[in-house]
Each structure stands twice: as C-alpha cells, then as structure tokens.
Structure 1
Amino acid sequence: MPLPLIPLVVAGAAAASTAIASKKGYTSYKNMKETKTLAGELESKYKSAFNEFESSRFQTNHAFEQYGKMKLEILDGTMKQFVDTFKQIKHVNFKGEAVTDKLISSKDVVEFVLQVEKQVVKAGQVMTAGIASLAGGGLAALGAVGATATFSAASTGTAIATLSGIAAQNATLAFLGGGSLAAGGLGVAGGTLVLGGIALAPALAIGSLIFAASTEKKLKEMYAKKAEVETEVQKLNSARSIMSTISSATNSMRELAQSTNELMNINVERMAEVIEFKGTDFREYTTEEQVIVHQNYKLAIIMRDLLNTSILNEEGELSPDLESVMAAVKEKISTN
C-alpha cells in the first residue's frame, strides 16, 4: 500500500525546505552581521581620520593668525620705535670700513625708512581699528602673505578689506579658514586646488547600505565602500601632511621673527641712548656709535625682508625658497 508513504515524503520535503530556509536565514543573518560590523569599522576609521584632519586644518589656520598678529605687533612696536628713533638722526652717511662693507647712499637710507614707515602706519591703523576688525581670514592672510602685499591699500578701511580679500582669493587660506563660497571665499572646492587635488566626500552614507532586501548584495557593496573609504582616508592623511608642513614652516618663521625682534629691541634702545647723550648729528658720533646706528639699519632691513616674505605663493602653495630665506636671515643676524 503506497498511500501511507505520502505523509512521510511530505514530511521529508518539509524538513528539507526547513533546513534550506534555515541555512538561508543563517547566511542572511551572517551577512547582515558582517555588513554591520564592517560598516562600524569603516565609520570609525573615517571619523577618526576626518577629526584629525579638521584638527590639523584648525592648527594651520591658527598658526597663520598667530604669525599675522605678531607681524602687526612688530610693525606697530619695534619697527615703529626704529623709525621714530632713526628719523631723529641727521646727516646719516654710511661710508667707510668702520661702518659698512659696501657703499650705501643717503638716498637709499631715506627711501628705506619711508618704505618701512608706510607699513608701520598701516599696521597702526589696523591696530587702532582692532584686530577683531580683520574678519574673513584677514589676520591669517597677513601671516601667510608678505606685509608689502597686504598693506598696499591707501586707507584704514581699504587696508582691512585688502587683508580679508587676500584670504578670499587664496584657495588655501579660504580652505583653512573655512571660507564659504557665499562669504566670497573659495571654500573646500578652492582649497582642493592646492592640496594636491584632494576631494573630500562630505558624507559616505555608510549606514544606508545596511538595510536592504538582499544581504549578500549589500555585503558586496559594503566591501566596495571599504575601498572608497580607504581612498578617502588616504586623501585626508595626505592633506594633513601638507598642512603639517605649512604649519611647521609658519611656526619657524614666527620664531625667527620673534628672535629678530628681541635683538632689534636691544639695538634700538642702544641707538636711543646714543641720541640722548650725543645728540642727533651723525657726524659727531664716534665710530662705535655710528656702528650702533648702522646695526639698527641692517637689522631693520632684515626684519623688513622677513615680514615681507610670503609663506604661501599666489597659487596657495608653500613658497619654494622659504628655507633659503630663513637660512639667509639667520646668517645675517649671526654676523650683525
């Protein structure tokens, strides 16, 4: 009698179906778990790299701002004192081996002092208006670009606008300062032009890959996303490396300007003492006193050149001759 076998066959088929369904369910569960685990790892990795990148961006912009502030303080401080003191001396004539190793005409001296005085006046105007008035990355612009470029305007308001304008025009400065397109900056898009072509993904949307009908398909997509995330992390790390180099160069320039300023302060005081005890006629000074005046002149030239040296060029890249400029300044100071 075959009929009694039917329930057994049905039962067997049902058991087989249950086993298959159970296996598929387990595979689906395993895929989902692996997808979620991978998504968590990728999100954590990306967030960590992005946070470090943002920190580096802030630090680099801060380094520019600190150096820009120092430039203003030096121009409105020591350089102003130099101009005010040096201009009191009459009949300055740097001739003879006791004073200089090359001929410097009186015209050159006058033109130099006038040039420095213009920058001193502009710095004083900005300081009077208040550093807070340098909105839109103006302070960072002064730190990144030479004083000559930033103080080329004719009036206080224009000078401040020029400083901010430089930040808006320079992709790296706008990028570092978070300048948006709406605010006149170049934003991230502009910053990528100079940060090695880096294009940062605003959102990786990792979580959206987790919930879907086909867990096997989504697991494959998540592994594809893994390659994308690793590429973005590499870009972030590359950008961080570039910013670290820029920040390091800026800090080195600031330290050099600070040490030069300290040396210049001492020499300006010595020059003021010469005037106090010997008057303002350079011809009446002893050789030693004339040397003091000449040292002030040379230090002022060094400081002017240092403050006029741009850390970033017009393309927003690190100036290639920055190292040689710093080396030259250090050598001049050591022989002064």
Structure 2
Amino acid sequence: MVLPLIPLIVAAATAASATVAAKKGYDSYQNVKEAKEIAEATERKYKRSFHKFEQARQQTNAAFESYGETKLMILNGTMKSFVKNFRKLKNVHFSNKTVIDSIDSVSNVDHFMREVEKQTIHASQIVVSGISALAGGGLAAMGALGATTTFAAASTGTAIASLSGAAATNATLAFLGGGSLAAGGLGIAGGMAVLGGIALAPALAIGSLIFASSTEKKLEEIKKQRSEIEVEIKKLDAARNVLDEIQGYTLKMKQLAQCCDQLFAKYIDKMKKIISSSGSDYMKFRYEEQQVIQRAYQLAVIMKHLLDTPIINEDGAVSPLLKEVMAKTEKHLSQSDWE
C-alpha cells in the first residue's frame, strides 16, 4: 500500500528541485545584471573623469607653450634691445636702490647685464632656428620652468637640442602627474602613476566578468574593482584641480610679462632718444635723463625676475616663489610715478 506514494514523493522532490533551480537561475541573472550595471556605470564615471583630466592636461600644456613663446619673444625683443642700448652707456652708477630687493652697485649691474645678455643670445638662437624646432616639450619647459633653468641645460650653440632634454622631461612629467597632489603628493614620479591609472578602465573587462562560472563571486570582484577605480578617479580629479591651478598661474604670469613688456618698450625708446641727443656718459645726463635710465634698468630687473621664476619646481609642485614674485611685480607696475 506504500508503493503508490513513491511517485508522489518523486514528483514533489522534482518540483522542489525545479524551484531551487529556478531560484538559482534568477539569482544568477540578477547577479549578472547588477554586475553589468556596476561595471558600465563605473566605466562611464572613469571615462568622464579622465576626459576632464585630459582636457586640463592639454590646456595646461598649451598655456606653458604660449608663455614659453612669450618669454622667447621678450628676450629676443625688448630685453635684447635693452642690452644693446644700455651697453652704449658709460660711467653708469646708481646711488639709490632702483630695483627689486635690489641690485644697485656697478659690479652688480655688470653681472646682471652679463646674465641678461646670455639669455638674449640663447633666445635669439632659438628664434632664428625657428620656435617650431623646440620639439620634445622644450617650449612647454620654457614656460613651466624659469628661463635660467631651461637655458642652464643648454651649452652654447646647442640650446634647441638641450631644451628637449632633462628640463623638458621634468616639466612634462610634473604637469602630467599633477604636481603636489592634495590626494597624496605624487610629484614627478606621479606622472607615470596617474597615467598608469588609465589602464584601470580596460581592466573592468566587462565581458569576462559577466560570463564567469560563479556570478556571485564575480559580482564581488566587480564591487571590489569599483572601489579601486573610485580611488583612481579621486586621483584624476585631484590632478585636474592642480593642473587648473597651474594653468591659472601660467596665464597670470604671461599677462604680467606682457604688461611689463609694454612699459619696458616705452622706456627703452626714451633711453634711445637720450643717447641720441645727450651722448653716452651717464654722469653728464640731466637728473631727469638719469631717472629714465634707472627706470629702464629697473624694468629689466623686474622682467628678468618674472622670466626666471618657474611656475612649477622640479618636484612638480607650484613654485613657492611664484606668489611673492607676482605680488611684487603687480606692486611695482602699479606705481603711479611711471611716466
């Protein structure tokens, strides 16, 4: 009498197994769906962040190059003209401080003039050869680093080749790395670290994650990778913020250099007229004429401070001197007694 119950038990067991299988199948489907949604959303978020970072990197590089070209034009223009005409003067002696901080003795004037002359010669070599010859980040390095730093890497006659060497590489890696990042201070070494983060996007490998044998395990892996990529996104955002800051400083320095250059050009023209009408002996000039010469010299020193001041140092961080130099330059240029 028991035997007739067996088919019922088997049927019940079969139904239970089907229910369990259906539940596992549904869970697997839900895991696959959730994993795919997480992977795709994380990838979209990463790509948005990287796109913004890449824009900031390109814009910062463009700002460096533009400022670098401005520096070269000033050195080969007004600074070169200043050296040429100031060298015509004799018995030059400034009895009062007429420059930033200040260089006021004859010996210091001579030293300053030699340094400026070296820079104008280097700039002239580059301009004559064509600015486009500054390959490998040289023009960006000229903008990012001080004129003294970039030209120091160049021996006489090889300025163009040398500018695409160590100085250019340091500048490039520094701004690619975002300088001194708020999220860890990566510096130059961070150039490769941040760029290395780009590889994490393909690492999502959505297809292989979705079709793994254990969808539950793969869902956990997706969640873990999402956390890792969120960290990389924060690094990219921090790098972008620093790049935006660096770009802002670069544009401001370019504007200050151009403003100073306009005033400088006026005083160089005045100096030319004085030499033409009154000769070359500074000690025989009238007081007003001596004042013009002193002002022209003062502007040369202000300009050299600007051009020599790096936007970023060799560690990739914003130069600690930058704000001070900018403030002093603005103060000097805003003086009401400039004619």
When normalised by structure 2's length, the TM-score is 0.85
CA shift for structure 1 position 194: 5.2
* Counterpart Cα distance in 1 of 2:98 and 2:285: 12
Question: What does the per-residue CA deviation read over 1:79-108, in whole Å, with 9 as the maximum and x for residues that have no partner?
Answer: 112112222334333347999x99944443
Assess, with a 3 A threshold, how the Cα gap between structure 1 residues 90 and 175 changes in structure 2: closer, same or farther: closer
CA shift for structure 1 position 201: 5.1
| Partner of residue 252, structure 1 | 252
Assess, with a 3 A threshold, how the Cα gap between structure 1 residues 134 and 273 changes in structure 2: closer, same or farther: same
Once the two structures are overlaid, the 10-residue window that deviates more, 287-296 or 265-274, is 265-274
Aligned counterpart in structure 2 of residue 193 of structure 1, from 189, 211, 215: 189
Question: What does the per-residue CA deviation read over 1:164-204, in whole Å, with 9 as the maximum and x for residues that have no partner?
Answer: 1233552x5235469xxxxxxxxxxx965256975625234
| Partner of residue 182, structure 1 | none
* Counterpart Cα distance in 2 of 1:102 and 1:151: 24
* Counterpart Cα distance in 2 of 1:295 and 1:58: 39
| Partner of residue 174, structure 1 | 173
The residue type paired with residue 65 of structure 2 is E
Aligned: 1:294 with 2:294? yes
Unaligned regions of 5+ residues in structure 2, if any?
178-185
| Partner of residue 23, structure 2 | 23
CA shift for structure 1 position 64: 1.4
Secondary structure of 1:162's counterpart equals helix
CA shift for structure 1 position 128: 0.8
The residue type paired with residue 172 of structure 2 is L
Assess, with a 3 A threshold, how the Cα gap between structure 1 residues 197 and 255 changes in structure 2: closer, same or farther: same
* Counterpart Cα distance in 2 of 1:255 and 1:166: 27
CA contact 1:194–1:316 (8 Å) conserved in 2? no
Assess, with a 3 A threshold, how the Cα gap between structure 1 residues 19 and 249 changes in structure 2: closer, same or farther: same
Secondary structure of 2:52's counterpart equals helix
Question: What does the per-residue CA deviation read over 1:27-80, in whole Å, with 9 as the maximum and x for residues that have no partner?
Answer: 111111111111110111111111111222222222211111111010001111
Percentage of identical aligned residues: 46
Assess, with a 3 A threshold, how the Cα gap between structure 1 residues 167 and 215 changes in structure 2: closer, same or farther: same
Aligned: 1:212 with 2:209? no
Once the two structures are overlaid, the 10-residue window that deviates more, 7-16 or 314-323, is 7-16
When normalised by structure 1's length, the TM-score is 0.86
Aligned: 1:222 with 2:226? no
CA contact 2:97–2:103 (8 Å) conserved in 1? no
Question: What does the per-residue CA deviation read over 1:122-167, in whole Å, with 9 as the maximum and x for residues that have no partner?
Answer: 10001111111111111111112221222233423x2123211233
State the number of aligned residues: 322
| Partner of residue 64, structure 2 | 64
| Partner of residue 184, structure 1 | none
Secondary structure of 1:94's counterpart equals coil
Q: What's the RMSD between the two structures over aligned residues?
A: 2.8
* Counterpart Cα distance in 2 of 1:163 and 1:15: 79
| Partner of residue 183, structure 2 | none
Secondary structure of 1:280's counterpart equals coil
Secondary structure of 1:27's counterpart equals helix
Secondary structure of 2:334's counterpart equals helix
* Counterpart Cα distance in 2 of 1:14 and 1:224: 38
Secondary structure of 2:253's counterpart equals helix
Aligned: 1:241 with 2:241? yes
Matches within 5 A, 1:1-336: 1-95=1-95, 104-152=104-152, 153-156=154-157, 158-167=158-167, 170=170, 172-174=171-173, 176=175, 193=189, 200=197, 202-204=199-201, 205-206=203-204, 207=206, 208-335=208-335
The residue type paired with residue 146 of structure 1 is G
Assess, with a 3 A threshold, how the Cα gap between structure 1 residues 42 and 139 changes in structure 2: closer, same or farther: same
The residue type paired with residue 44 of structure 2 is S
Assess, with a 3 A threshold, how the Cα gap between structure 1 residues 279 and 253 changes in structure 2: closer, same or farther: same
The residue type paired with residue 130 of structure 2 is G
Assess, with a 3 A threshold, how the Cα gap between structure 1 residues 50 and 97 changes in structure 2: closer, same or farther: closer
* Counterpart Cα distance in 1 of 2:97 and 2:169: 47
The residue type paired with residue 155 of structure 1 is T
CA shift for structure 1 position 3: 4.1
* Counterpart Cα distance in 1 of 2:308 and 2:151: 10
Assess, with a 3 A threshold, how the Cα gap between structure 1 residues 2 and 194 changes in structure 2: closer, same or farther: closer
CA contact 1:65–1:140 (8 Å) conserved in 2? yes
The residue type paired with residue 197 of structure 2 is L
Unaligned regions of 5+ residues in structure 1, if any?
179-189
CA shift for structure 1 position 256: 1.3
